[in-house]
Structure 1
């Protein structure tokens, strides 16, 4: 009987959060690494030389990057190609003014750290046409933008509001999850992982 009352309340609270525009709730911070197991095509995983025979081996794909999706341009996307480098997942919605304010800094970080870190946008909470318009309007087409209309990637990373960053280290462990107004501080967080 109690579950019948509590479950609808929890679901209603989650829906209310999803319909907001990423209000700064002070929920940003460092994650403990317990989060679930990641335009242009993604970067290829960096290969490591095998110490014994000089051949190269692909990095192990962490659970966090074992998913596939589709870009806003309809191209297949395999997150396993992100393995071996720090990865920024930027969760945004096309109608969100805070997301729009983050676009320029996120695109700059993607460009500045190309080859050293991955940056991937994960659009949700709208239709693909609106997502494509957002990417064009904000000039955020220099890095992969996923169309997550069904919210599968959002659910995988337990994201409940847009205007959110999830940053993974090179081993796929979550090292940051939260809001960065206008993308402020993103470059420093990525520099700390690549440096």
Structure 2
């Protein structure tokens, strides 16, 4: 109960800030929205996964995996460590684009954490934080207890631009072969359905 109260308190503080606007100094990288939410997302083309489809093996043979275009990016974790997204190839992946001041993002944190705990051996979650400072990103992760998920500091907006993300909070859902299955907002039930479909 105490943990729940802390989470609700943190979410309440963020709700007061709201998600309707963006800090002006961080908005320079945001491109204008244009058309469909999945438009402009890199297509993996003919790339395919050689990961085993027979149930059970959660560790595909990396030497046989073709890296899809969607996972050809790199960044830095919140702690400044280099991160190469090609290491995610061969498993379904959910990219969570969030901002540290966003109340909607805060309300999603528990679902992300719970789904990562339950299905993290069969798919990857990657948080991609933008539109805020590194200190605030760290505080968000700490307050909402999503530290088990890897998060990248994309304050410069490089990865957000790659996926044509123009607002928070949005998900990009990639299947095992790196095909984009969904881009956009998902509520908790929709996110759970997406996860279960990916690992089925």
Q: Structure 1 residues 18, 158: closer, same or farther in 2, change over 3 A? A: farther
Deviations 1:47-87 (A, max 9, x none): 747xxxxxx53311101101110111211111001001110
Instruction: Give the deviation of 1:18 after TM superposition.
Output: 6.9
Q: Is 2:113 the counterpart of 1:107? A: yes
1:1-195, aligned counterparts within 5 Å?
A: 19=22, 31=38, 35-36=41-42, 48=51, 56=61, 57-181=63-187, 183-195=188-200
Aligned counterpart, 1:9: none
Secondary structure (helix, strand or coil) at the match of 1:185 reads helix
Aligned length: 155
Per the TM alignment, residue 158 of structure 1 is displaced from its structure 2 partner at its CA by 0.4
TM-score (norm 1): 0.73
Give the alignment's Cα RMSD to 1 decimal. 2.3
> How many angstroms apart in 2 are the aligned matches of 1:184 and 1:155?
27
Q: Answer yes or no: is the 8 Å Cα contact 1:84–1:170 preserved in 2.
A: yes
Correspondence for 1:5: none
Contact 2:76 2:153 (8 Å CA) reproduced: yes
Tell me which residue corresponds to 2:57.
none
Unaligned runs of 5+ in 2: 1-19, 24-35, 44-48, 53-60
TM-score of the superposed pair, with normalisation by structure 2: 0.71
**3-state secondary structure, aligned to 1:88:** strand
Unmatched runs of 5 consecutive residues or more in structure 1: 1-16, 21-28, 38-45, 50-55
Is contact 2:68-2:89 (8 Å) kept? Answer: yes
